[in-house]
Amino acid sequence: MIPRHFIPIRNYASSYGKSIKTLQMSKCHDKKKGRKDRFIEHNGITYVDIHYPYSKEHYELIQEAKELYYNLMDIYPNLHSLAVDFSKEFGCDKQAAYERLIRFSFRNDSKKVVEVFKILLDRSKGDI
């Protein structure tokens, strides 16, 4: 049985504008690395996770980070003040934190970003 979040590779390619060759190459790279979470072979048909190029878990972490970000933006007066607190908890300089938040890039270190956002949200709820 194929999980519901997997679709045939041809359908994915036509829906998301990716070439089948690119997807097949990713499948080969995943196979070399021993990764089995993005592609499934069943009855001679290759299926791809709809969350590609991420795994479902990573995709869900990114979505959680986005939700927490919006909640924090409702609490903080501006992005700069959020970046200052984020940089202290995340362990980076203020400019790097500000650029990460303004670019809305939560893909890298998404688990740590979610943890920091939760800490900041808990702290801000305590201040109210």
Domain ranges for the chain, please list them.
6-53, 57-127
pLDDT tens profile 105-117: 777 788 899 999 9
- Give the whole-angstrom CA distance, residue 31 versus residue 21: 15
pLDDT tens profile 14-33: 888 889 999 999 999 999 99
Identify the burial level of 118 via C-beta atoms within 10 angstroms of its C-beta, where 0-12 means exposed, 13-18 middle and 19 or more buried.
Answer: middle
Helix (H) / strand (E) element for 30: namely helix 20-33
- Evaluate if pTM is beyond 0.75: no
Per-residue pLDDT, 17: 86
Contact 127, 78 (CB under 8 A): no
